[in-house]
Structure 1
Amino acid sequence: MSRAFNQNAHKAEQAASRGSPGEVFRVFLKLGVTSFGGPIAHLGYFRDELVVRRKWIDEPGYGDLVALCQFLPGPASSQVGFSLGVLRGNGLLGGLAAWFAFTMPSALMLLAFALGAAAFTGPVAEGFLHGLKLVAVAVVAQAIWGMTRTLTPDRARAGIALAAVAIVVIYGGSLGQIAAIALGALAGLRLCRGEGAPVSGHLSFPVSRRSGAAALMLFAALFLALPVIAGGAGHQSIALFNAFFRSGALVFGGGHVVLPLLQAQVVAPGWVTNEAFLAGYGVAQAVPGPLFTFAAYLGAVMGPTPNGVAGAAIALVAIFLPGLLLVYGMLPFWDTLRSRQSAQAAMRGANAAVVGILGAALYSPVWTSAVLAPRDFALALGGFLLLTVWKAPPWIVVVLLAAAGALLGAVRNF
């Protein structure tokens, strides 16, 4: 009797802690217009807003989710955001609300540029963009500061994090990241056992196993069938969808890693000129949100039809779809896996490796591309202190550092 009561009480508490797709949309829309700095910085923004401030998920659960999304192909930060939307918004509608709100601001900006928006040039504009890079330094540093204390609290996990840094530095790229997480999980199996701590919270996503299996099967069917259909049908819209779907399906780590694949898919066949491709890539660095929205620009500037708004929509959906199908398919199985003692030990090691990967990314490319002079270090440090000591919202730091960068750019022009 008491057991049934406890189970019902837990279900009621879990239902009460969930919100609505509308709430998810509003929160992620704010993140979509303020999250500058690429996927690593996005994870910092998500942690600050959704783990620390709103407490949608606890720190270990967030680390588990980040590790899962790092293992899967696709844009890791968008997959984390989509999963948090599923969790908070009580299902697929919440996940789609999170994805749409986080993705659309940057996609619309890149579409506007593709359709002829004025180029963002000049010393003030360059200073503004440089200020946004310094925001990424502060945000990533804050994320590492917080995650280090919770995910690497002992010598074993600190050692795993340092080993992950070494692996990423030596091997680089997405393969280095995947290897670091996999080796971290193996090290955790040996070094992080015997900690009888229970799983913190419940990562019970409102996704049935049948729905998860259906999503995984749909991914496999599209991956195998689209090239055949595109080759036989002769329709440019199908060929366009196939090109961007395969780019999203074959990239681990997301972000900049997808660019060589995209270039091969759209420049080599003559759909987009190399000059237009590079111009769009430059603008993509200036907008918030996921770098995968670069697909919207490419779909719009295509030579063959469909292009414009229709081409942008096809390319955007196609490049995100494989990653979202994969993470949605894995969500119903993830809580069971992480509840096992061996899985807990492996995840402790994997989470420690994630901290190491974030640490390596803080240096390159985040630090090396942003901190070029002593004044850059001073601005980045100021942003870090605003976030950690004064607990300022990230959007305030974005506004202040971007404005400071623009002011320095104007001063240097005189």
Structure 2
Amino acid sequence: MTDQAINESGSESVRSSTVSDDAFRGRLKRRHAADRRFRLIGLGAILVALTMLGIILVSIVGKGYTAFVATEIMLTVDLDRSVIDPKGTGDPAVIGAASYGKLIRDAMMAAFPEVKERRKLRSLFGLVSGEASHEIRQYVLDNPDAIGTRQAFWFPADDNIDMLVKGHIDRKSAEGDRKVSNDEIAWVEQLEASGAVRTVFNSRFFSSGDSREPEIAGVWGAVVGSFFMLVVTLLLSFPIAVMTAVYLEEFAPKNRWTDLIEVNINNLAAVPSIVFGLLGLAVFLNVMHLPRSAPIVGGLTLALMTLPTIVIAARAALGAVPPSIRQAALGMGASPMQTVLHHVLPLAMPGILTGTILGMARALGETAPLLMIGMVAFIVDIPSGVMDPATALPVQIYLWADSPERAFVEKTSGAIMVLLGFLIFMNAIAVLLRKRFERRW
């Protein structure tokens, strides 16, 4: 081969190598650009999700934080013996049946002696909540020696007055555009000037049940009802789900029947919750005749809904235990049952508990199945057992959201904040359990 041919061949090789390197660099550059675009899209999706979450939380907190404070009005009440116990018998039945509303009306008239017109008097008496007479009654029953004296009481303000003091009603707007009249605003300002109006922590919100009066409505009845339902749900769903997962994962033969069971369990986990409500209505109420709107029925219905979720989580936790653990236990002479109970199940329990808590958190936030079994009833009393009429936090939120009064708007948002607090607490427990007991193989 001549020198010229060798040079030409070398030049072609160099050009080919240069073209190949340029193509490789171009492809590498495009891949890096695609990676950057993918990361930016992912980051944008996260930012959008966080923005939406922030908007929701700001809206809820902005509307609901005032539910944790209450407006109170001070009145000096003359506990007139002639009204409370005219015969001086001291009989609690006589004292309890007295007209305490008259004492409040007399106190209001004494505080505003210039008000004489009947219509204005009716508005004046409405500055305080209807609960005021019950509070005086309870005070007198607990302190009968106070009869015949003058006592200063702090009474809950009416819901419209409460909204006015908290700033939810604009005092400068036209009278026809607000539910509080000019006279009522003048009386409130007069009470504020004398120090007879204050805002305090709303302990009633966390200690009382539902009420048609927004200023005294609370979430405690719904919290207790939710607690009883979750107890029933946990006691039923956890052992059944764990035993089901152990059997399917460790002992069940692999055939068409077990495959059918597994497919049905996976499908049940995706069934809408209202279907379980229909099942509870048909079985627990119409067939078993259990009491309507009772935590026992809600717990049974939620247990059916939670079972597939816990079974799937438990099977995943059992499957994550290395086979060497089973082989070592069997090699040491342990029976298959001893291997599962003494070695596999304890190692899988952190994952099982995590799945259980997440399933219970989902059950706590469910509303549709509870509506189907009649837990939408108006319940004032605090339930004392699983058979007593009760409601739940999501249902309470639903009821308050449907109420027309402006004060129930803040109650609704406040109850949502309480529910979110419970859910965050339960999810935090799940995370702590996983971090505390999780083992990496």
Could you say which structure has the higher helix fraction?
A: 1
TM-score (norm 1): 0.22
Could you say which structure has the higher strand fraction?
A: 2
TM-score (norm 2): 0.21
Whose relative contact order is higher, 1 or 2, with alpha carbons under 8 Å and at least 6 apart? 1
Which structure: larger Rg? Answer: 2
